[in-house]
């Protein structure tokens, strides 16, 4: 593989995470406007976005097998067609059923690209590079979280229709589409063996993968359950307007992105299981301080600290998963990614009824409890993890 082709595939991975981040994170910003558009209460509208999260889950789960059947390039080209059709449906229809279908399609497209992006990084990079590259790739998720809430706030504050936010997000897939047409992709499964590659090695995953999977699910559910209801919470409790709330969300993802860049270097010098346990504990503490402060001025400090210390958790969980076997398995990595995506799908299933019954503050408290579970799973992992036996314990992969 040529170096320029490797770079193109790496940028496809970067944009795939940015696409998923943008689609998931702007939900809290546009939900109120979309609810008004369809004349529904916000709590009911939140359930509709479960179609987006379900689409992500279904496509990531199935793509663990489909990647060996349908060429990666063909999948990404087909995804571009689906993206265009979904955006057209959002812009041209006032049907709630069609809106839900379009959200599902956007989720499918996002899940396909994210699973391919994750595989490409674990396939292209080895040793110490893999963990740091995964962290840097995941930073594009938070970079989208930094940029698109601000974009959404600007558009909505100027009374521009909410669906233009999704058109702006669609520009990310346009970049993926252009890079896809220019790139050559690795072969998988039987096609790889037929081309002279090695047959895949099967290893038992171990109970550590279970702890990592539960941690991934609770982390994503806790993170999104928190960040999606921050605008509602800040507006109701502290009287913030949509732009101020959007800035608060943007601050979280800015600190998250910076934290990823910092930890992509720092993690190389520490045992991954120990440091992720410390980061999970600090994250639970920072979220507790955010949820329980009565001073609006403290919100920015708490959410900045939370974004920074929690930034490396999810990617470190995926990296630790890839280290539980001697040879990294795409199915193992995809399994942990799928569990995290289950957390995405459950975001509004879990938090919607809580908000409807007890308000946004209760949803944030639930998210805080989930972060406590992440800490517990990371702590228990220390007794069963195989990463030290297979790879020496540090940021190797």
Domains recognised in the chain with CATH numbers: 3-391 (1.20.1250.20)
Neighbours of 1 (CB within 10 A): 11
**DSSP notation for 39-77:** T--HHHHHHHTHHHHHHHHHHHHHHHHHTTTS-HHHHHH
From CA 88, how far away is CA 211, in angstroms rounded? 41
**How many Å separate Cα 189 from the centre of its chain?**
26
CA 267 to chain centre: 20
pTM: 0.75
d(CA 226, CA 238): 16
Predicted confidence (pLDDT) at residue 74 exceeds the cutoff of 80: yes
For residue 117, which of 43, 18, 250 has the smallest C-alpha distance? 18
Interhelix angle 313-322/330-358, nearest 10 degrees = 150
pLDDT category of residue 367 using cuts at 50, 70 and 90? very high
pLDDT for the residue 191: 56
Cα separation, 76 vs 95, in Å, equals 28
Which residues are within 8 A (CB) of 239 and not within 5 positions of it... i.e. 6 or more apart? none
Close Cβ partners of 341 (under 8 Å, ≥ 6 residues apart): 53, 56, 57, 60, 61, 111, 220
Number of residues written out for the chain? 397
The token duo for 116 is: 């391919």
Instruction: Determine the pLDDT at residue 215.
Output: 96
* pLDDT confidence of residue 281: 97
Residue 119 pLDDT > 50: yes
> What's the CA gap between 323 and 311, in Å, rounded?
20
Average pLDDT over residues 234-263: 85
Unique residue bearing structure tokens 């009824």? 353
| Structure token digits, residue 99 | 């809106």
pLDDT of 32-70, one tens digit each?
A: 888 888 888 876 776 777 788 788 888 888 887 888 788
Query: Within 10 A of 214 (CB to CB), how many other CB atoms are there?
Result: 18
Higher pLDDT residue, 88 or 119? 88
The alpha carbon of 146 is separated from its chain's Cα centroid by a whole number of angstroms, namely 13
CA distance 251 to 229: 15
Q: Residue 257's pLDDT is what?
A: 82
Asked if the model's pLDDT at residue 178 lies above 50, the reply is: yes
pLDDT higher than threshold 60 for residue 197: no
Which letter, b or e, does each residue of 256-285 get, where b requires 16 or more Cβ atoms within 10 Å of its Cβ?
Answer: bbbbbeebbeebeeebbbebbbebbbbbbb
SS3 204: coil
The average pLDDT across 134-153 equals 82
Predicted confidence at residue 396, as pLDDT, reads 42
């Amino acid at each position: 593989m040529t170096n320029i082709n490797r770079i193109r595939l790496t940028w496809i991975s970067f944009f795939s995470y940015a696409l998923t981040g943008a689609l998931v994170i702007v939900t809290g910003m546009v939900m109120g406007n979309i609810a008004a558009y369809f004349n529904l209460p916000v709590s009911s509208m939140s359930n509709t976005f479960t179609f987006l999260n379900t689409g992500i889950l279904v496509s990531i789960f199935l793509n663990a097998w489909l990647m060996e059947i349908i060429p990666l390039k063909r999948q990404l080209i087909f995804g571009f067609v689906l993206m265009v059709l979904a955006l057209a449906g959002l812009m041209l229809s006032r049907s709630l059923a069609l809106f839900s279908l379009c959200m599902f399609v956007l989720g499918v497209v996002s899940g396909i690209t994210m699973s391919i992006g994750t595989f490409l990084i674990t396939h292209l990079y080895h040793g110490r590079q893999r963990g740091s590259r995964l962290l840097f790739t995941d930073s594009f998720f938070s970079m989208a979280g930094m940029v698109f809430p601000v974009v959404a706030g600007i558009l909505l504050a100027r009374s521009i229709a909410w669906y233009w936010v999704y058109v702006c997000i669609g520009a990310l897939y346009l970049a993926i589409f252009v890079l896809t047409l220019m790139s050559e992709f690795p072969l998988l499964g039987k096609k790889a063996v037929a081309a002279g590659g090695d047959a895949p090695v099967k290893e038992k995953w171990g109970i550590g993968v279970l702890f990592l999977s539960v941690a991934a699910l609770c982390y994503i559910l806790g993170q999104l359950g928190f960040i999606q209801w921050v605008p509602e919470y800040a507006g109701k409790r502290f009287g913030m307007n949509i732009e101020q709330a959007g800035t608060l969300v943007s601050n979280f993802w800015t600190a998250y992105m910076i934290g990823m860049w910092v930890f992509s270097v720092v993690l190389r010098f520490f045992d991954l299981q120990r440091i992720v346990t410390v980061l999970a504990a600090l994250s639970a503490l920072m979220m507790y301080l955010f949820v329980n402060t009565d001073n609006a001025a403290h919100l920015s400090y708490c959410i900045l600290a939370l974004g920074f210390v929690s930034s490396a958790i999810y990617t470190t969980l995926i990296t630790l998963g890839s280290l539980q076997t001697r040879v990294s398995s795409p199915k193992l990595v995809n399994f942990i990614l799928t569990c995290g995506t289950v957390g995405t799908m459950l975001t509004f299933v879990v938090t919607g009824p809580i908000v409807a019954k007890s308000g946004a503050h209760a949803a944030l408290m639930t998210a805080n409890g989930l972060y406590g579970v992440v800490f517990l799973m990371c702590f228990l992992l220390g007794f069963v993890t195989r990463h030290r036996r297979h790879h020496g314990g540090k940021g190797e992969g």
